[in-house]
Every structure is written in structure tokens, then in C-alpha cells.
Structure 1
């Protein structure tokens, strides 16, 4: 099979399209012919081996997993022993956070994937797992958002943010999104009740109060959370220094602030599939690349100006 491999840490230029062995199907796993992927910030962080501390998981001096990629959607080609919920021919989507998805075939545990809704295209569903799970778990699992509550979503136009706006509205919340001036209309189209342009209004001086504050951009300080929200959820950070500053401030505070890394599971993926099927989530694809241009797709999202998601198609 064809796969994009990384033998060393670096930028998209280190990715090479090579031949690799089709994975052997393991127990409780399925072999999926990949039809589409999507690109995530996690991909370029893993590709570059940054922050350096992440190399403790992904390989200190060189990558443990040669094939990059997390999000995928495709067709089940083989099933392993003990698989009960999937059959050959099922259209599925899911994630492999450790990598391996930017290939013609992936072998994945059934617990990290789910069936696709009918009549939904592969690039759409491939765009959901990492960003959709992060948004869903930030709001529901950790944010515990309730009908009628208010939520501020910082970074509302990006991959995670544009899902968070729609999920929060689906669960009956009042949503205020924070984005640039150029993305105001886009965030409103997602269902946001109010939009704050960070290049017109200093969010660090914003004084309105919300039941929940979610930061997908990663630049809010601990005092920002306490000033604006009854509780908060951290999705990302702009720098390691900023991360340590917020977490150390929180360690000596009683403020209910949660930091997490999304965990793939079939229940949450099935819920996201249901939200897509019912029209509560509409994936915005800013760009779609052929699989041969996966390095270009990574470069595109690394600019951190993507509106919604970027997908890559295998044909």
C-alpha cells in the first residue's frame, strides 16, 4: 500500500510517499480501506516533535510510528476475531491518535471508530473525529453544559471551535463566539448568538460573564477564566510557557478549570454521527486536497488560519 512516512522530525518536507505493508488484522480490530483523512494541529506537532516533551510518547530521537495521521474515514475490508459490531463493507470513521492514518489501509480497534451515517461523504466524516471529539468532550464531558446556559467559545472559527459552536447550540446553550473580524459572518452562520472580534475588542478586558468558558485558541489567562466564567475548559495552549502559567495558577486556585486531551470512543463518535445525520453539525471544509498533497495540507493548517477543516481524499 501507499503511505506517507516520516523517518525524522521536521516540517512537511520530511514526509515521503512510500510503499508499506498492509497491516495485519488483530483481534478486536478492523482493517479499513481509507477513503479520506483530515489534517489537525496534532499532526504537525507530532511531525515536528514539538513541544519536545511530547517525544516521550512519540519517540525521543526519531518517530516511533513512521506513518503520520489521526483522522480517517473508509470501508471495512477485514474483521478480526471478536469483532461483533462491524461487517465487511461498513462505512466507518474514527481516529488513531498515535498515527498511522495517512495510508491506503489502517488497522484500528473497534472502540475508536463508528459507522458513518448514510448519504454523508467520506471527507465530511473524516473531518470529525479529533476536532469533533475535542469539542464534544469539552462541552459535554468536562464542561457539563446544560440547556439554557451561556458559553463563550474562544477560537470559534477553527476546526474545534466551529464544531463547539454547533454542538453547544444543539444542546440548548446560548453561544458567544470569539474570532477575527473576517470570520464574524461565518461564526454567526454556525448559530452563534453573539460574536466578539478579538482584533476589535480586547478579550483580556472583556467583562461579560458566562456559565462556561472554552478556549480552543489557547491564549486565555487564568484570570480571564475567573473573570468571565463560572467554570472553564482548556482545549489548547499557544506556548508551553503559557500552559505552565495557567496550570500553576490553577493548582493554587479553587476555580473549576479543566484541561484534557480528547479520548476516542465509539459512544461519542456515534453521538457525533447522529448530530451530523440530524443536521445539527455541518462540517465546513475550507479546502480538500488529493492524498498526494498531504504535505501541502499540513502546511496549510500549520498557518493556523483555517476556517473549519481541511480534508484529503484517497482515490
Structure 2
């Protein structure tokens, strides 16, 4: 298949591009290589893809409607996986316009490209952040998600709504994937694993928010990639049992689906720090802090729909995943 992966220089995008390339798909990756975090890390990820002759990279911004239109016309993709987005919950509080340009305008350009070239299946990254102020856990795709607590979350919920409208109007099959706290080698520098590991190795205190009373459904990168690949291969169909009087938000009368991809096993923040300490053989100095604006105390994914429809459940343990991450960190940053 000919597959477009947007955000190909990103954490998940690089790993997914490699998975598709390894199995023989022709992969076209795009990324705008913005400086939200270290651009050299993005170039290093792309270098991992150089050995695949069936991978091609183009520097392109999702908000460039002319460029995106030309890209779709040139390649006539069999699948599109949209991972490119302005990431980060906290950054959205400071720079809201960046999220509208990338996550809303950019996603519209992807939808239009899929529509006009009749792409058979669009898969796109949503986020566990859409659950916002919800308290009932595990979070299910069938729950209402109308109370986001950050603009980032609102932009991801908007993507789901936009996708549904295109599934309805143009019969474009779309699948949204709500990722739960992805971590692992080649991860983002603004995420907790990288921040904690760097702080501990540099003998600097690490910030522990909400005084440690937090839990996350940490999901290892390989599990995320496997889930995305399987979801990409499964084109959604209209649900014959969908009821407009009792609407199920995870599916529809048109070819539309939403899935959680999470480990279904929340880890307490202090246990997560403990896993890093064990992998490093070093104890962290901890700065206990209040809850950050736009954050939530805990997340947990109900993955029963993912298991039912694509036959996969993430299961990498936190200590194993952290051990692999720390080994990579030490090698990449030459940190001892």
C-alpha cells in the first residue's frame, strides 16, 4: 500500500513509518520540523528511516493547503495516518493559536485531500485528553467527552467531530485513536520520562505535581504502533445497530470509529518515578508541587473495543518499558 504518515519526524510518527516500511508498504512521510522541541532529535529520528528505500520524506506543513493538495494529487494514497499536530497540553495555555493552525486548519486540509482523492481510509491521532473533566474510569469511547480542560483537548475533540462530518457527507472512512500517555525510546523532551531522567542524572530536583497524587495509563511506544497498524488495516463500516435516540459516540451510521489505545493499567506517579530510579540506580530529589492548570489527576483506558475489533491489547509493563527508555537515553545523550 501507499501510505501517508504526517508528523513522520515525531515520536510516534517515526516509529510508525518504520513499521509500515518494514512490512513493505511505500511510505511518504511529511513534517514541518518546527522548533517546539529540539529539532536535532527530529533529524535523528528521520535518520533511522534512511535505510528504507520505500520511505520518502518531504518537509511540509499541514497548514499549507496548496502543498497538501498537491501532495495528495501526486501520490493517490491508499491510507493516510495523520499524527502531525501541535503537541502538549500545557503549551496550549500559552500559545493557543499554534493549536488552531496545526490541529484544526491542518486537519481540515488532510480531510480535503482525502475527500478529493477518494482515500479509502483516514486514521488520525486523537488523545486521552478529550476525556477532560470525566471522573468515571476506565475511560470508555462510549462516554460523553464534552468537557475538555485544555485547548489541546478541545482541538482533538474537534478533530473527531470534523472526521465524523466527512464520514457522513462524503462516506470517507475515518478512525480516531485516543492515545494514552505514550513513552519509550526517542520520546519527546517535554514529557515526564525525559524530564525526570535528565533531572535525576543531572542531580537536579524533579517537579512532582499534585503532590504525587496522580496516575497515568502509560503506554509503551511499540504497543501504540501495533495498535495503529492494526487499526489502519481495518476500514470502519457503518454500524447497523447505531441508534440516534441512544447514540454511541464511538461509532455511527456512517463509516466512523474511535478507539482508545492504552495499557489499561494506570501507574501511580510515585511508582513511575520509582521505576526510573530503579533503572538509573539513583534516587531523585523531589519538588512537591500543586496540580498544574489544564491537567487531570488520573487516566485509565478501556480497550475492550480495540481488543474486539483488531485483536490487540497493549501489555508492556512499566518497568520493562522504562528500562528500555533509560538504556536508549544513556546511549543517545551519552549520559552515565
Where is the strand percentage greater, Structure 1 or Structure 2?
1
TM-score (norm 1): 0.28
TM-score (norm 2): 0.26
